[in-house]
Structure 1
Amino acid sequence: MIIETWCRLRAGMTAFALLATMVAGSTSELRADEVRLKLHTYVPLSVPPMQHLLKPWADHLSQASGGKLKIDIYPLMQLGGRQPQLVDQVKDGVVDMVWTLLGATPGRFPRTEVFELPFTHRSTLATNLALRDMLPKELADDFKDYKILLLHVHAGNAIHMKDAAVERFDQFKLKKIRSPGQISTEMLEAIGATPIATTLTDVSSMMSRGVIDGALLPFDVLPSIKLNSLVRYHVLMAGDQRPTTAVFMLAMNKKSYESLSPDLQKLIDDSTGIEMSKKAAEVMDRFDQLGMKASKDGGATFITLSAEETAKVRQASESVVAAWAKKLDAAGGNAQQVLSRAQELGAKYSPKAGQ
């Protein structure tokens, strides 16, 4: 009886082991069929480009591939390093993808900096489409180490002042204004202001303590850093043009891309076409308008410099363009060709073109 019971138990255990082996084998096959890519970024998942552009894109890839391709997004530098290191992390294959701000590594992408030069940026859509057109030729040398999926900008920077109602060019003199990057720093110096470099998260506290008088920022970030309640005056340029913007890139490691099957490569290529450039513009513009509305609802005053005063800002900023051109030419680039093409395409794709 004992032997019979033992034999039945042993048979049951053998059957269970066989079933477990079959299930494990099936799971292994499913996992072998799935590709997971790591996307590293410096921002939280709550910001508009993550919530309304990259997260939906990752979800689309998963769905369209039948679950074969998964993009795991790691925000706030969760995989280690600092923001300026993202471009090397993806180049060296530490991660598969990054979404980052090119201005975090000044001088690393000198041709693409043309769109951050004062008054080159015409509109979010126009600049996104110009970036797309120039990537294969005029900007190609900047990105030879990457598989670029998307280049895009935000709606553009305005000058947000705590207490100073700046209505003339000469009133910028010695105002301490937070700068978002090297080219903006040079522009602020050119117009007589004192640029202050600080992280976005420190802007509100520094303004409340009087360390800075203002900040050069797009409107979309103001609510998230609670700057609306501190800023009384928002200074804009004539012609509804923002003086500077910032370029972001969604880049992939070349080997990570080449290791994918042709169908997954095609899926990525098809999903990062011109429609994604347009979607990026729509998202950034929509949240920029929401930021402007929040400021207006809070009682802030919007000041638009006259055409004459805006012209003075433009003229003073020409030295920034000249300095950029000199550096690019010295590095073997053709600054005039890059600048002319950027201006040509900006005009071509501008919503006001032909009006």
Structure 2
Amino acid sequence: MKRFSMKSLALAGALTAVGLMAGAGMTFAQEVTLRLHQFLPAQANVPKFVLDPWADKVEKDSGGRIKIERYPAMQLGGKPPELMDQAIDGTVDIVWTLPGSTPGRFPSTEVFELPFMMTNAEATSRAYWDIFNSKMKDTEFKDVHIIAAWVHGPGLIHSREPIAKLDDMKGKKLRAPTRIVNALLGQLGATPVGMPVPAITENLSKGVIDGAVIPWEVTTALKVAELVQNHTEFGGDHALYTTTFVLAMNKARYDALPDDLKKVIDDNSGADVSALFGKTQAGTDAAGRKVAVDAGNNIIELSATDVEPWKTAAQPVMDNWVVEMQGKGVDGQALLDEARTLIDKYTQK
């Protein structure tokens, strides 16, 4: 029988202890699983080109210690307007949603949805983040941790019948995403119908609505070019409208992360990420437009001159919003002026 010296046994014991400590070290290196919930199908442009790449990068930057499970199309239950509350109450960990899905709850975000405010999505998203960080973070969004805040590319009208002039809007039942865009469509003569994006396809196919306002990028997932044949684009330096988004995380979940994993989230948050998200989302507009062109649909391109009557007709929406904000204790005119200044600043860069 082989005999072991006391020295050998001591060495073996030391190696075992080292192994146990290494194992314990691996155990103490906290691993976190986060559930990301959102309202579009997984193959849509925003999940595919914005949310998934972001989640993949967070996982990679964390050395695999953060795992982000992705749940598209409201797979975890509820309706799109409930997403923010799901993030706040911890039903899920992260959501992608529209603040405007819950009218009046995040009023300051509406400044970027006002008519003819947006120039391009990247510049407007930077302006949005700046104002979020200085004016909304500790007030309207105090119950949630915001990772990014951005807008989509130019909004336009998709309709069964051609809309080439302002009078063509009369009586048209058009889907709108938010309170402000509802007000805009009503001011322009249409009958606004508020509904979340996933409901557009069914309501167009059943004839409940005559058209919808959405950016080009989401039309492919919704098969809009198959359901309507006319698309009205607005020329000039400013888009008809845009919609604000946030990527929001449960505050307690974020606060409970160890510092190194919190840094991973922080490094993938903020102004540059918001601008990238806006630019990326708008960058997929061209593919959606091509589908409509290839289908032989009618693309109505309004010139900057053609758009002037629309701007004049839309002005009361802005005026009314400023007054409404004053009633909420917000200096709406100052906020509007600041948003315009920041958008212009970032557009010129």
Give the TM-score range, shorter chain.
0.7 to 0.9
Deviates more, 1:70-79 or 1:331-340: 70-79
1:1-355 matches, cutoff 5 A:
30=27, 33-140=30-137, 141-162=139-160, 164-239=161-236, 241-350=238-347, 353=348
Answer whether contact 1:48 1:283 (CA < 8 A) is retained. no
Change (3 A) 1:208 1:51: closer
1:89 CA displacement: 1.9
1:127 CA displacement: 1.0
Distance 2:135 2:335 in 1: 6
Answer whether contact 1:138 1:338 (CA < 8 A) is retained. no
What is the TM-score normalised by the length of structure 2?
0.87
Answer whether contact 1:176 1:196 (CA < 8 A) is retained. yes
1:184 CA displacement: 1.1
Answer whether contact 2:49 2:281 (CA < 8 A) is retained. no
1:222 CA displacement: 1.3
C-alpha offsets along residues 36-83 of structure 1, whole Å, 9 cap, x if unaligned?
A: 222222222222222222222222222222222222222222333222
- Look up the equivalent residue of 1:153 and give its one-letter code: V
1:152 CA displacement: 1.0
Instruction: Give the 3-state SS of the residue equivalent to 1:342 in structure 2.
Output: helix
1:305 CA displacement: 2.5
1:203 CA displacement: 3.0
Q: Which runs of 5+ in 2 are unaligned?
A: 1-18
1:292 CA displacement: 0.9
C-alpha offsets along residues 169-213 of structure 1, whole Å, 9 cap, x if unaligned?
A: 122111222222221111111011111234434434443444332
Distance 1:100 1:210 in 2: 27
**CA RMSD for the aligned pairs?**
2.4
Change (3 A) 1:136 1:207: closer
Which residue of structure 2 aligns with residue 7 of structure 1?
none
1:297 CA displacement: 1.6
Distance 2:278 2:31 in 1: 32
- Look up the equivalent residue of 1:126 and give its one-letter code: A
Distance 1:284 1:74 in 2: 19
- State the identity as a percent: 38
What is the TM-score normalised by the length of structure 1?
0.85
Instruction: Give the 3-state SS of the residue equivalent to 1:239 in structure 2.
Output: coil
Instruction: Give the 3-state SS of the residue equivalent to 2:299 in structure 1.
Output: strand
Answer whether contact 1:158 1:217 (CA < 8 A) is retained. yes
1:26 CA displacement: 5.0
Q: Which runs of 5+ in 1 are unaligned?
A: 1-21
Which residue of structure 2 aligns with residue 12 of structure 1?
none
1:331 CA displacement: 1.1
Distance 1:334 1:226 in 2: 41
Answer whether contact 1:169 1:309 (CA < 8 A) is retained. no
- Look up the equivalent residue of 2:157 and give its one-letter code: I
Answer whether contact 2:198 2:222 (CA < 8 A) is retained. yes
Change (3 A) 1:232 1:41: closer
Matched residues, number? 330
